[in-house]
Amino acid sequence: MSFDQPAQFLQIDHFLANEDRLNLLEYVLDREADFVPTSTATGDLDYRKSWILYHFEAYENWMIQKITPFLPRLFDAWKIEPFAISQIEIQLTAHNDGHYYKIHNDNGSPDAATRTISYVYYFNREPTNFSGGALRLYDMRIENGHYVQAETYRDIQPVNNRIVFFPSHCLHEVLPISCRSRNFADSRFTLNGWVRREATEYV
């Protein structure tokens, strides 16, 4: 027996005050030299292309404080039993010309198994100088108690100052980006990460 489950997500526009967004953008642009190419757990060189900043202490706790108040709303909307949070992870990523991330979920490996809620906050310089880069969230087909990819999906555009939350088990991808200038400052920037539950809840 199988049936499709529509992709669950919460989209919020105008997430940050304009001054906060501009300060974040300035912070990122000042650290262009610190971004490095991304990788995947499998080491596949053709699965993900983007740049990442691993250390940005000034915004790690700040962004977590912005995200946390929305969690009860997600628990209620998605019928998730409230859980003890062990960690809220965060990354700072830049996508430029030709970058992408193929279909994956965020909790498919043993070290990521406790990731429960994923989030992506989009920001960029205005006017926007890239195209593409939508987040494609796939509906899920449940077969024999397991989630598999359905043929249907929802594309969420990377609109400046938008945040999207979705369950970490959902299959998704970042569609290819086109950025004619190839300038770092014209990239599609994201603060993205995962809310982890306590590992003991999986025992």
107-116 per-position pLDDT tens digit: 988 999 999 9
Rounded distance, CA 21 to CA 193, Å? 18
What separation, in Å, do the N-terminal and C-terminal C-alpha atoms of the chain show?
27
What per-residue confidence (pLDDT) applies to 39? 77
Question: Quick one: tokens of 72?
Answer: 């009860």
Q: What is the mean pLDDT of residues 162-188?
A: 97
Rounded distance, CA 4 to CA 6, Å? 6
1 confidence band (pLDDT: 50, 70, 90) = very low
What per-residue confidence (pLDDT) applies to 27? 98
151 confidence band (pLDDT: 50, 70, 90) = confident
Q: Is 192 helix (H, G, I), strand (E, B) or coil?
A: strand
Share of the chain above pLDDT 70, in %: 94
Closest CA to 175 of 195, 194, 154: 154
Closest CA to 184 of 25, 14, 18, 16: 25
131 - beta bridge partners?
A: 178
Question: Quick one: tokens of 159?
Answer: 């609109």
What is the pLDDT of the chain when averaged over all its residues?
92
Q: Give the C-alpha distances (Å, rounded to integers) separating 144 from 80, 117, 139.
A: 21, 23, 16
Contact in structure between 94 and 168 (CB atoms under 8 Å) = no
Q: What is the mean pLDDT of residues 22-41?
A: 93
Give yes or no for residue 79 having a pLDDT over 50: yes
The DSSP symbol for 88 reads E
73-82, 117-126, 136-145, 159-168: segment of lowest average pLDDT? 136-145
40 confidence band (pLDDT: 50, 70, 90) = low
What per-residue confidence (pLDDT) applies to 25? 98
